[in-house]
Chains A and B, each alone.
Chain A
Amino acid sequence: MSHLLEVKNLSVAFPTEDGLVQATDDLSFHVDLGETLAIVGESGSGKSVSSMAIMGLHNPKSTQISGQVLISSLGHSTDVVTASSEEVRRLRGGTVSMIFQDPMSALHPYFTIGNQISEAWLLHNDGTKADARKKAIEMLDLVGISDASNRVDAYPHQFSGGMRQRVMIAMALVNHPKILIADEPTTALDVTVQAQILKLLKDMQHEFNMAVILITHDLGVVAEVADRVNVMYAGRLVEEGSVNEIYKNPVHPYTIGLLASVPRVDQAHGTRLKTIPGQPPSLISLPGGCAFEPRCEFAKFVPGNLCKTTRPQVEEKHTGHLARCHLSAAEIKAHQ
């Protein structure tokens, strides 16, 4: 059985004056219908770059892409990397949709929201403008915008941030996509609004039975909504597993460090935060070994210079729990 989305050995690089920026490197993962995959990482980890690659949104002139991004739709599989631009365009907004971090700037300021949602529908359906408008009102209603039949003619600047994100969601879902990519969908919003939007996303996922790829740096949000988690560091997948496995039983030193360094509201006040020493590496000419080695507390337990010289491969550490580390899960546990 093939997966709904399968990313195989995806590498995305940007040539710059200073050298080749390897934004993602040999990245493989998959998503199935109905599940939520969270891709977690800090800035520069390659999480947004990979989502843009799934959408085929990288400019081929300024990007080097290799590997495969296979999307199954109606029993037919398309490789976004090699497909024609027209094929990819038809997938975008149809089978795969996306919402973005900043709903303030993601909507066109000159068009009414109804116009923008209608456009999305008309791009993928045969119908009249009146049909599209009806569809837009229906969608706005569905995402919880009251008085939708009037507000369909409003402009984005007349909405609050949370409302605009609802509009974005309505627009992304108007063609009933199979995959929704949500790139930091709540980062620009206040926490109380964040809670509303996350709930809406969950409801919509049930309503439309789609896969959601949630791209975020917020481990709290991940814990709330994800089924599976990919942790990325310096353009590489470092750990993948079910949300419970990742939080309860992390096996990659980066994941362990990241989870320990997040302040939590349910923690005793006044405890000192654990930190990961140092800075993320530059993505230009990464050293040959493990990208996390300079910051890793466990590297000293690996015999020889293995972490410096040899790049670890993604290995299954437990059933369905993968990590890119020279140490076994048991060794990590022993030294923790």
Chain B
Amino acid sequence: MSENILEVSNLRKYFDISGGIIGRKRHTVKAVDGVDLTVAKGETVGLVGESGCGKTTVGRTILKLYEPTAGSIIFEGEDITKYSQRKMKPLRAQMQMIFQDPYSSLNPRHTVGDIVAASFAIHKVTPEGGVKKTVQGLLERVGLNPEHINRFPHEFSGGQRQRIGIARAIALRPKLIIADEPVSALDVSIQAQVVNLLDDLQSEFGLSYLIVAHDLSVVQHISDRVVVMYLGKVMEVARTEDLFKSPHHPYTKALLSAVPIPDPTIERSRERITLVGDLPSPANPPTGCVFNTRCWKAQDICRNSVPAQRTVGTSTVACHFPE
């Protein structure tokens, strides 16, 4: 795990919100505001945060589905920040995406076989042993019946559709998979199956994952390292065990304490930090530390100056008063 497959530094993505008939620029939403993150080869990094924190935008910007406003994205030593869509095309075979909603991300008019085989056609690759056989092999690998190659997405359950999405993503043997909430639309018993499948595929194909998710229990389970975001900024980066055992950022601490544990005895004896108030608008974030409006440790310095990333133990924390 020495070499990084993905290095993102100071990534920014601003969206201009315009209004009026002539489309005057009204204000800028800093969806992603200076994010650093790395994914090592074979590693799984969990990118967590609540809705509106910018985690999904980070994933999409790395894949160049959005043009980054600033910063750099280095994939396998290649700086792809300024790459055009045409130049990105060969790289797309190596970076794939798995989407949240297995209902809307598969074309309902195409058979499962067509959906999985589309990657081969787009990148003009003919797999060894022929397309059909390879697709059937992929379906079998993700736990679907290879004889169902001619069925349509609506004939499958949610969990099975997510498996189809995974088969499509791994068809070209990518090196990096960015998964946006890969299991959050699935039922608990199915969720576990898909999580295990992602685990197995990783060791089998040496994949690296960037998992964007809001469910900390899933992230805890699947990730080696975790990046915690809040209002477009990274609050804390740590190895999973460390983060869950001893969170250093007050936000991480509050977030973890809010996740319920399925055990009534533990759950009812826990000390819980209940954050007050709502998430501020990303169009008008607080000055200084973006978390200061909801933080119980906030002091003047938090309102005036943006905390720098500092190392505490094995973690990196952006806080003036880390735990």
Q: Do chains A and B touch in the complex (CB under 8 A)?
A: yes
Question: Out of A262, A269, A279, which one reaches B244, CB within 8 Å?
Answer: A269
Question: Out of A161, A219, A244, which one reaches B262, CB within 8 Å?
Answer: A219
Q: Mark B262-305, 1 if CB is under 8 A from A, else 0.
A: 11111110001011001100000000000000000000000000
Question: Out of B51, B196, B267, which one reaches A190, CB within 8 Å?
Answer: B51
Chain A contacts for B221, CB-based, 8 A: 263, 267, 269, 271, 273
In contact, A273 and B157 (Cβ under 8 angstroms): no
Give Cα distance in the complex from A63 to B188, angstroms. 28
A123 to chain B, nearest CB (A): 30
Given contacts A163-B278, A265-B244, A192 and B255 within 8 Å (CB-CB): yes
Question: Out of A192, A247, A261, which one reaches B50, CB within 8 Å?
Answer: A192
In contact, B260 and A223 (Cβ under 8 angstroms): yes
Given contacts A190-B50, A265-B217, A269-B241, A223 and B192 within 8 Å (CB-CB): no
Given contacts A190-B214, A263-B195, A265-B216, A195 and B258 within 8 Å (CB-CB): yes
In contact, A218 and B274 (Cβ under 8 angstroms): no
Question: Out of B160, B216, B262, B265, which one reaches A262, CB within 8 Å?
Answer: B262
Interface size class of B (residues with CB under 8 A): 35 or more
Give Cα distance in the complex from A259 to B188, angstroms. 9
In the complex, chain B residues 176-206 whose Cβ is within 8 Å of any chain A Cβ: 187-193, 195-196, 199
A274 to chain B, nearest CB (A): 7
Give Cα distance in the complex from A195 to B272, angstroms. 9
Q: Is B261 an interface residue (CB 8 A)?
A: yes
Q: Is A222 an interface residue (CB 8 A)?
A: yes
In the complex, chain A residues 251-277 whose Cβ is within 8 Å of any chain B Cβ: 257-259, 261-267, 269, 271-277
A259 to chain B, nearest CB (A): 7
Count of chain A residues near B, Cβ 8 A: 47
In contact, B192 and A266 (Cβ under 8 angstroms): no
In contact, A267 and B192 (Cβ under 8 angstroms): no
User: Secondary structure of the B side of the interface?
Assistant: helix
Chain A contacts for B240, CB-based, 8 A: 269
In contact, B192 and A275 (Cβ under 8 angstroms): yes
In contact, A279 and B190 (Cβ under 8 angstroms): yes
Q: Is A105 an interface residue (CB 8 A)?
A: no
Which residue of A has the minimal Cβ distance to B241?
A269
Give Cα distance in the complex from A193 to B188, angstroms. 21
Q: Mark B73-86, 1 if CB is under 8 A from A, else 0.
A: 00000000000000
In contact, B260 and A258 (Cβ under 8 angstroms): no
Q: Is B54 an interface residue (CB 8 A)?
A: no
Question: Out of A217, A223, A224, which one reaches B187, CB within 8 Å?
Answer: A217
Q: Is B149 an interface residue (CB 8 A)?
A: no
In the complex, chain B residues 191-248 whose Cβ is within 8 Å of any chain A Cβ: 191-193, 195-196, 199, 214, 216-218, 220-221, 240-241, 244
In contact, B188 and A265 (Cβ under 8 angstroms): no
In contact, B188 and A217 (Cβ under 8 angstroms): yes
Chain A contacts for B264, CB-based, 8 A: 223-224, 226, 243-244, 247
Question: Out of B157, B214, B218, B260, which one reaches A263, CB within 8 Å?
Answer: B218
Give Cα distance in the complex from A259 to B195, angstroms. 16
B29 to chain A, nearest CB (A): 16
Q: Is A199 an interface residue (CB 8 A)?
A: yes
Chain A contacts for B262, CB-based, 8 A: 219-220, 222-223, 247, 259, 262, 264
Question: Out of A223, A224, A273, which one reaches B196, CB within 8 Å?
Answer: A273
Chain B contacts for A280, CB-based, 8 A: 157, 187, 189
In contact, B256 and A263 (Cβ under 8 angstroms): no
A206 to chain B, nearest CB (A): 15
Give Cα distance in the complex from A182 to B256, angstroms. 24
In contact, A265 and B220 (Cβ under 8 angstroms): yes
Given contacts A192-B50, A195-B272, A223-B263, A269 and B220 within 8 Å (CB-CB): yes
Which residue of A has the minimal Cβ distance to B256?
A265
Q: Is B259 an interface residue (CB 8 A)?
A: yes
Chain B residues within 8 Å of A, Cβ to Cβ: 50-51, 157-160, 187-193, 195-196, 199, 214, 216-218, 220-221, 240-241, 244, 254-268, 272, 274-275, 278-279
Given pairs A196-B275, A222-B262, A272-B199, 17 additional interface contacts (CB within 8 A): A43-B187, A160-B278, A190-B214, A191-B214, A192-B254, A195-B257, A195-B272, A195-B274, A219-B188, A224-B260, A226-B264, A244-B264, A261-B191, A263-B221, A265-B259, A269-B220, A279-B159
6 A-B residue pairs with CB within 8 Å: A196-B275, A259-B262, A263-B192, A276-B193, A279-B160, A280-B157
The 10 closest A-B pairs by CB, nearest first: A220-B260, A261-B192, A190-B50, A42-B187, A219-B262, A263-B221, A276-B189, A195-B258, A273-B192, A263-B217
